[in-house]
Amino acid sequence: MRYLKLVYVQVLIGVALGVLVGVVRPDWGVALKPLGDAFIALIKLVIAPVVFCTVATGIARMGGLKTFGRVGGKTLLYFEVVSTFALGLGLLVAEVLQPGAGFNADPKTLDAKAVASFVDQARHDSVIAHLQAIIPDTFIGAFAKGDLLQVLLIAILIGFACTRLGGLGEEVANGLEKLGKLFFAIIHIVVRAAPIGAFGAMAFTVGKFGAGSLVKLGALIGTFYLTSVLFVVVVLGLIAWSARFSIFRFIAYIREELLIVLGTSSSETVLPQIMEKLTRLGASRPIVGLVIPTGYSFNLDGTNIYMTLATLFLAQATNTHLTIAQELEILAVAMLTSKGASGVTGAGFITLAATLAVVPSIPLVSIALLVGIDRFMSECRALTNLVGNGVATLVIARWEGELDEAVLHRELRRGPGGAEAHERLETPA
């Protein structure tokens, strides 16, 4: 019975019950959607303040622009290299397995209204517009909208300002650190509702879209999940091995967060918790505070795999022949459009539409084929994104000499339920 007190076990039960309700009584499942929405809203309530306090404090303690530039440069370089691997893997697997072959979909028969909003947003989006959107209209506006990139920009500016104010800046940084602890305490309260949120979200997903959508497009779903597992085990596994830790132990350590993501289909719901766990694993708070929030917009490995894989699937499904040059063009375009995705549910679908809008040879309306299964794909995208950003943080912390490897290995051996881990959660740093 003691296992039932563990949050990750409760979340697993919630997910299983949600699937059961969605299958047996789909109407009930759809009606339970507010439970999942409410939990996500509660988490998003504190995400912006947590990111702001953590990043601003971290930069203030880094020691200035030079250190920030070095860490930021390494972070962006890592993101770009690993993201390109993810995009390339999706492209390669789609070419080898041909999940869309034989689908023979006629674009003229597809429901264009089902994807009209995504198509319209994709056509009006651009790199310049995306960059301009990083600057908030007002200081408070960034927090009101919950835009992580805007909050990140404000946090960076405040962090640098603190480094120029001497003693006063140190006092401000101390105040922000204490405020951050308050929001983390709120997270510990809210996360107790994760099983209920996962139950409602999963019941809605299965009840709304049903098992039929899974069967109909099972080849694409299976290929995507297989590719994501391959990426995590092989690519991220090798990266973790080079940093002297096991990818499997790391996955086991963050299993609670992974189960919450599985239930809610969004990696954003565990952003504060994963930041705290990475700090507990021995990574310094400044590194965690910089890498994780940035990674949520620039290091979305699962989304990258999905974009190239789904693009080639739609080409195959609509019998659209692509040359090698066109496939390389897709890869290049996806490298840009993927940077606009965030950790929220459905973002991958929007960036896919943005990619197709730049590659006119594939009918844009063909994304209507994926509407019914996108929620199931979103779960795998979010899971892969979360693991990828966790590994990135530990690797970059090690590069900077900001990772306590003794703590890392001790915590990975003990697991998240170790006595020392609980003691740290209760005792302020």
Q: How far apart are CA 7 and CA 260, in angstroms?
A: 9
Per-residue pLDDT, 195: 84
Total structural domains within the chain:
1
Tokens 């039960």 belong to which residue? 13
401/398 Cα distance (integer angstroms): 5
Q: Name the nearest CA neighbour of 33 among 230, 209, 157.
A: 209
User: Above 50 in pLDDT, residue 380?
Assistant: yes
So what's the pLDDT on residue 281? 93
Per-residue pLDDT at 89: 93
Asked if residues 248 and 258 have their Cβ atoms less than 8 Å apart, the reply is no
Window from 104-118, 164-178, 251-265, 403-417 with minimum mean pLDDT: 104-118
Q: Where are the alpha helices (DSSP H) in 265-323?
A: 271-280, 285-298, 301-317
Extract the runs of DSSP E, i.e. beta strands, from 254-390.
Answer: none
For residues 91-95, give the mean pLDDT: 91
Beta bridge partners of 403: 283
Structural domain span for residue 151 = 2-426
Instruction: Give the per-residue pLDDT at 428.
Output: 39
Which residue type occupies 150? Q
pLDDT > 70: percent of the chain: 80
Q: Which of 131-145, 176-190, 379-393 has the lowest mean pLDDT?
A: 131-145
pLDDT digits (tens, 9 = 90+) for 17-29: 888 888 888 888 8
pLDDT tens-digit series, residues 51-86: 788 878 877 777 666 777 788 888 889 998 998 999
- The model carries a pTM of 0.77
Mean confidence (pLDDT) of the chain:
80
pLDDT at 47: 79
Token match 């080079």: residue?
A: 242
For the stretch 187-234, pLDDT in tens is 788 878 888 888 888 788 777 766 655 565 678 888 999 999 999 999
Q: Which has the closest alpha carbon to 142: 40, 265, 55?
A: 55
CATH of the domain at 189: 1.10.3860.10
**In angstroms, rounded to a whole number, what is the distance separating the alpha carbons of residues 27 and 22?**
8
CA distance linking residue 349 with residue 133, whole number of Å: 20
